[in-house]
């Protein structure tokens, strides 16, 4: 069996995760432009005003109270990742599987850990725990402080989609290493950044990415940001896996728990 994807596929990214960690919360790219780069993805909005998820070419804003609304094409994003989702690898999930187990199952589905993967999980969930960033005021605090305002939401017995990306560890200054996914329900009325879930039944689809199209902001805030902090792993842990139930700062150790 071939252990590499057989088709080239581009993933588009607007700005860097390390810029977001440094408090660069105002972007220069609109939702309208972003949708021109792909019909599937995630990210956040200016001032860190909620989580973004893009499903079937529609961009949704997931706010701290757990509600979802359709985003406006003129809204801007300081960080987002998207692609035109092509489900090249697809499998039915084992029933009643928790996030940590599903993570290992998805690893087995991938031909290699060294490529990027867009991940779409469609099904029914007995529980989904999410958190959502809260709109920040200037001067913006770094993200490790901003997430102190986060609200956690618990959804039970819900159908929906978990959408996001599995990113190689070597991309950790660029993107969120490991699995970064957002949830939205079937009614498109609620969701957030996923911390944990149990999938009762559903389908997992993967779209391997071999090429990265990276767009860096032309703003003075970005020009002056510190994009290589010494405690990057700890910052990623505090902001992306908060509430995940582990305390190790190492992103490597976190991988399967995410
Ligand atoms: Zn997120």
CA of 109 to the centre of ligand 1 (A): 23
CA of 22 to the centre of ligand 1 (A): 16
CA of 192 to the centre of ligand 1 (A): 8
CATH topology (fold) of 10-257? 60s Ribosomal Protein L30; Chain: A; (3.30.1330)
State the chain's mean pLDDT as an integer.
91
Rounded to whole angstroms, the Cα distance separating 57 from 32 reads 10
Find residue 199's DSSP bridge partners: 97, 125
Under a CB-based contact definition with an 8 Å cutoff, are residues 53 and 163 in contact?
yes
| pLDDT at residue 255 is higher than 60 | no
Helix (H/G/I), strand (E/B), else coil: 140: coil
pTM of the entire structure?
Answer: 0.92
CA of 104 to the centre of ligand 1 (A): 20
Start-to-end CA span in the chain (Å): 28
Helix (H/G/I), strand (E/B), else coil: 48: helix
| pLDDT at residue 147 is higher than 70 | yes
CA of 51 to the centre of ligand 1 (A): 6
* Mean of pLDDT values over 97-113: 95
Q: Is the dihedral of CA 52, 53, 58, 63 positive or negative?
A: negative
| pLDDT at residue 252 is higher than 50 | no
Q: Is cis: bond before 139, omega within 30 of 0? A: yes
CA of 14 to the centre of ligand 1 (A): 14
CA of 203 to the centre of ligand 1 (A): 21
pLDDT, tens only, 67-104: 999 999 999 999 999 999 999 999 999 999 999 999 99
| pLDDT at residue 58 is higher than 80 | yes
CA of 111 to the centre of ligand 1 (A): 25
| pLDDT at residue 40 is higher than 50 | yes
CA of 194 to the centre of ligand 1 (A): 7
pLDDT at position 242, please? 55
Rounded to whole angstroms, the Cα distance separating 168 from 147 reads 24
| pLDDT at residue 258 is higher than 80 | no
pLDDT at position 1, please? 52
Length of the chain: 258
């Amino acid at each position: 069996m071939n252990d590499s994807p057989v088709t080239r596929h581009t993933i588009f990214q607007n700005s860097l995760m390390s810029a977001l960690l440094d408090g660069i919360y105002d972007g220069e790219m609109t939702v309208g432009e972003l949708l021109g780069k792909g019909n599937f993805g995630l990210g956040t909005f200016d001032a860190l005003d909620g989580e973004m998820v893009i499903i079937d070419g529609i961009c949704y804003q997931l706010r701290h109270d757990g509600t979802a609304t359709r985003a406006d094409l003129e809204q801007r994003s300081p960080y987002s990742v998207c692609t035109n989702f092509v489900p090249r690898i697809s499998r039915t999930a084992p029933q009643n599987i928790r996030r940590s187990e599903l993570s290992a199952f998805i690893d087995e589905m991938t031909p290699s850990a060294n490529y990027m993967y867009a991940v779409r999980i469609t099904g029914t969930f007995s529980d989904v725990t999410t958190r959502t960033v809260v709109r920040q005021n200037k001067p913006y605090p770094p993200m490790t402080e901003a997430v102190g305002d986060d609200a956690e939401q618990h959804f039970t017995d819900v159908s929906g989609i978990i959408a996001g990306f599995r990113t190689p560890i070597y991309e950790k200054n660029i993107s969120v290493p490991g699995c970064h996914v957002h949830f939205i329900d079937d009614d498109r009325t609620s969701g957030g950044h996923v911390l944990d879930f149990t999938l009762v039944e559903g389908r997992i689809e993967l779209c391997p990415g071999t090429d990265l199209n990276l767009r860096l902001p032309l703003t003075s805030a970005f020009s002056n940001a510190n994009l290589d902090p010494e405690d990057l792993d700890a910052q990623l842990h505090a902001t992306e896996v908060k509430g995940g139930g582990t305390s190790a700062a190492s992103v490597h150790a976190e991988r399967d728990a995410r």
